[in-house]
Structure 1
Amino acid sequence: MKQERLWTKNFIMISSVNFLLTLVFFLLVVIIGLYAVDEFKATTSQAGLVTGIFIVGTLIGRLFIGARIERIGRKKTLIIGFILFNTVTLLYFFSSSITVLLITRLLHGISLGIASTAAATIVAFIIPMARRGEGIGYFSMSSTLATAIGPFVGLLLTQVTTFQTIFAICLGVGIVGLLAGLVVQVPTLKLDVANEPGVKQKFSIRRYLEPSAIPIAFVTLAVAFCFSSVLSFMNFYAIEQDLIKAASVFFLVYAISVLVSRPFTGRLMDMKGANYVMYPAFVLLAAGLVVLGSATSSLSFLIAASLIGFGFGNIQSCTQAIAVKITPRERMGMATSTFFIFLDAGLGFGPYILGFVLDIVSFSQMYLSLGFLAFVTIGLYYAVYGRSEKDRLSI
C-alpha cells in the first residue's frame, strides 16, 4: 500500500510559518530584558516581568481563539494573527516607558497565541492520519530550530547593532511569515452548528478547553514545569559553576539532539504507539536533569543538554500528537489550543514558582529534585493514557 505524502507544499509552508513565528519570540525573549534595562533603567524584577508577560499574553490568545478558530476559519485566523503580530511589532519602535513596553509585550503574546494556535491546528489537518506522530514531530522541529537559532542571533545582534535594528529585523521576519501563510491551502471541514466551538451557549469548559485533551495536557504541564528551570536558570547556574562557555552552546546541543531523534521517534510512535517513545523519554529527561544538577565540567553540562533534548523534546511532540489523535476532527483546534495552554502555563509560571524554591535550595538541589519529578510523571502518564493506549490505537 502506497504511503501518503507528508512533505507537501502546504506542510513545508506551514512549518516555515511556525519557525518564523517562534524565531521572533526566542530572538526577542533574550534581548527584551536588556532593552528594558538599557532604555528605561528597569529593575531586575521589571525586566523579568517584561520578559514573562509575553507568556501571559499567549495564554490569553490561546484561550480566546481556541473556542473560535473553527467558526472564524483556520487560515483566516492565521492571517489575522499574523497581521496583529506584525502590527504590534511596530509598537516596539514607539515604546516610551516601561508601562508601554509591558502593554506591547502583552499584546505581542496575545497575537502569537492566536497565530501559533492556528498554525498548529492547520498542520493537524494537513498531515495524513497514518503519519500524524511523524508529521507533528517534524512540524515541532521548526520550533526546535527557532529555539536554537533565535537566542543565538538575538545575543549576537545586541553586540553588533541597535535594538531598533533588531525590532526592524523581527518585523521583516514577521512579514515573510505572513506571506508564507497566505499561500497555505487549508482543508475545509463542515461543522455541526449546534456543537460548533464558539457558538453562544451556557458556560461550559468545552468552550475554552477540549476535555479529552486535558489529561495528557497535565503531563505536558508537569514536564514543561521541569524544563522551565533550564530556560530560566541554566545561565545563572552555569556562572555559579564557572561553566559559562558550555552554557553558550547548551541549547545548540539540545536542538541537535531533538532534530536527530524526532524523525525516528515520530515514525516509531506511528508504527508501535506512543508508549515506545514516552517511557524512554521520561527516563532521559529525568537523567538529564540529574546530570545537570551534578555537573562539574563542560562535558557533563553538555551531556545533560543532550539528554534533556532527547527527553523533553520528544515528550513535547508526542503529547501534542496524542492530544489531537484522541480528539474528534471538528475539535482539533480546541485540542491544540488546550495543549499549548498547558505547555505555556508550565513554561511561564514555572520560573515564578521555582524562584521561591531557590530561596531555600541551591540550583543543584533544584535540578536534582526536578529530575525526580520528571521521573514520577511516568505514573501520571500511565494513569491518563499509557495503560489504555492499546484500546485507543484504533481511534
Structure 2
Amino acid sequence: MKAKLWTKDYVILLIASLFLYIGFQIFMPTLPAQIIKLGGTETQASLAVGLFSLVALFMRVIAGGLNDRFGAKIMILVGFFVLIAVTVNFYWSTVVSALLVLRLFHGVGWGITTTSIATGVSTLVPPNRTGEGIGFYGLTTALGMSLAPIIAIILMNQFSFNFLIGFSIVLMVLVFLLVTRLKMPKEARVVKHKMQLFDKGALLPALLCMLMAFPLGGIQTFMMIYGLELHVKMVWIFFVGQAIMVLVSRVFAGRLYDLKGHRVVIIPGILLMGIGLWWLSMAMGAWSLFGSSLFFGLGYGMVQPSLQALAVDRAAPDKKGIANGTFLSGMDVGMALGSFGLSFIAAHYNYALMYRWSIVTLVIFLVIYLLVFRGKRLLPGK
C-alpha cells in the first residue's frame, strides 16, 4: 500500500512554511529602504541583508542538533516566539543602529524556525515519497519567496512600513497558534546522541544549493533597482511569473525525482535557470522580465526541492535535523554572497551585466554535479 503523505500535520507544516516565508521575506526589499529613509548609508542598508544571513547560518548549525534532541514542534514554537518578539520591536526602532541589532535577532529566529520546519517535514514524509514530500515543502518556501516581494511592494506603496510590520506579526501569530495543534511521532521527539555541527552527507547538496542561491540573492535584493534601470514600474511581474512556474514544477518534479532519480530533474532545472538569467540580463521591458521569470522560476522550482530531498536521503534517520540545518545553511550563504558579491559588478558596470555574470555560478554547479555523480546510480538515496 502506498504510504500516506497528506496528513493533517504535514499540511500544518506546509502552511506554516508558506506564511513564515511571506512574513519574513517581506522585509528583504523594504528594510534596506527604511534604513536609507532613517538616514543610513548604502553600506548599512546592505548589512540588513547580510547580518541576518550570517546569524541564521550559525543558528542552523545549532538548531539542527537541538531538533534531533528535543523535537521539531518545540523548536518551531521557540523560533516563532523569537520572530514575533523581534518584529514587534521594529515599531519602536527609529534609529539605524537599533534596526541592525534587531536584524541580528531576526536571524536567530529565522535560523531556528526554518530548520525546525524542514526537520518536521522530513520526519513526516514517507521514505519512498521523499522527492514528492520535500518537493511540496520546497514549493511553499519558493512560493513564499516569490510572493513576499509582490506583497511588500504593494503594502509599502499603499500604506507604510509600520503597516508592513503589523501584517507580518499577524501572520506569525496565526502560524504560532496553528503549530500548537501539531502532533509529531513520539519516536521522533527525542534522540539521544552527541550534537553535531553538520551532516557529512548533506555537505554536497548544501554546496550546490549555495551556488544555485548566488544569483537568487541578486534577484531578491536588486530586482527593484534593476526595474529603475530599465524604466519599468511593473518589476513585480517577474515574481508573479516565478511564482506561477514554481507551482507548475510541483506537477511533475517530485514524482520524477522519486521514480527516475535526481539527474533527470536537476540537470534540466539548472539549465532552465541559466536561460532565465540570460534572458533577464537582456530584458528591455516588463514582458521580457516576465518571460525570463518563467524559465528561471521553473528551473528553481525543480532544483531547490530536489537538492533538499537529496540531502535528507543521504542522512541517517536520526540526523534529519542536522542534515536540514546543513542544507539550509548553503541557501543562506549563497543568498548573502550573491547580494554582496554581485553588488560590486553592478557598481562598476550595470545590473544587466551583473545578472549575466551570475550564470557562472550555475556553470560551476553543473561541473561539480556531473563530476561527482558521473557513472553513479542516481535514484533517491544513492
Regarding TM over 0.5, the answer is yes
C-alpha deviation, 1:36, in angstroms:
2.2
Shift of 1:63: 1.9
Deviations 1:192-233 (A, max 9, x none): 74xx142xxxxxxxx211111101211111111122222222
1:275/1:386 contact within 8 Å kept: no
Correspondence for 2:237:
249
- Per-residue CA deviations over 1:353-390 (Å, capped at 9, x if unaligned) read 11223344433333223224313421211233464234
Name 1:201's counterpart in structure 2: none
CA distance in 1, matches of 2:376, 2:11: 33
Q: Distance in 2 between matches of 1:263 and 1:124?
A: 20
Measured in 1, the distance between the counterparts of 2:159 and 2:381 equals 54
Q: Deviations over 1:232-280 (max 9, x none)?
A: 22333332233342x2210110110111112311111011111110111
**Equivalent residues in 2 for 1:43-192, closer than 5 Å:** 43-189=41-187
Q: Residue type matched to 2:44 in 1?
A: Q
Q: Which residue of 2 aligns with 1:9?
A: 8
Give distance in 2, aligned partners of 1:151 and 1:63: 28
Contact 1:227 1:347 in 2 (8 A): yes
**Unmatched 5+ stretches in structure 1:** 199-206
Counterpart selection for 1:209 from 198, 201, 212: 198
- What amino acid does structure 2 have at the position aligned with 1:169? F
SS at 1:388's partner residue? coil
* Structure 1 CA distance for aligned equivalents of residues 296 and 374 of structure 2: 21
Q: Does the 8 Å CA contact 2:49/2:336 hold for their aligned counterparts?
A: no
Alpha-carbon distance between aligned partners in 2 of 1:140 and 1:373, rounded to the nearest angstrom:
21
Percent identity reads 27
Change (3 A) 1:387 1:345: farther
The answer to whether 1:280 aligns with 2:268 is yes
Q: How far 1:96 moved relative to its partner?
A: 4.1
Task: Tell me how far apart the structure 2 counterparts of residues 373 and 109 of structure 1 sit (CA, whole Å).
Answer: 25
2-structure distance, mates of 1:314, 1:297: 26
Structure 1 residues 294 and 131: CA distance shift in structure 2, 3 A: same
**TM-score, normalization by structure 2:** 0.93
User: What corresponds to 1:228 in structure 2?
Assistant: 217
Determine if the alignment matches structure 1 residue 238 to structure 2 residue 227: yes
Cα pair 1:137 1:263 within 8 Å, conserved: no
99 and 360 in structure 1: CA distance in 2 versus 1, 3 angstrom threshold:
closer
Question: Match for 2:342 among 354, 369, 394?
Answer: 354
Match runs of 1:333-352 below 5 Å:
333-352=321-340
Determine the C-alpha separation between the residues in 2 that align with 1:41 and 1:123: 42
CA contact (8 A) 2:28 2:221 kept: no
* Residue range with higher mean Cα deviation, 101-110 or 223-232: 223-232
Between the aligned partners of 2:247 and 2:217, the Cα distance in structure 1 is 20
Q: Distance in 2 between matches of 1:26 and 1:387?
A: 39
The alpha carbon displacement at 1:299 in A equals 3.2
Change in 2 beyond 3 A, CA 1:297/1:317: same
Question: Letter of the aligned partner of 1:282 in structure 2?
Answer: I
Change in Cα spacing, 1:286 to 1:165, as seen in structure 2 (3 Å) is: closer
Q: Structure 2 unaligned runs (5+)?
A: none
Judge conservation of contact 1:213–1:327 (CA < 8 Å) in 2: yes
1:277·1:314 contact (CA, 8 Å) conserved in 2?
A: yes
Question: Aligned equivalents of 2:269 and 2:36: distance in 1?
Answer: 39
Rounded to whole Å, the distance in 2 between the matches of 1:394 and 1:335 is 13
- Cα displacement (A) at 1:48: 2.3
Single out whichever of 221-230 and 269-278 deviates more from structure 2: 221-230
Does residue 22 (structure 1) correspond to residue 26 (structure 2)? The answer is: no
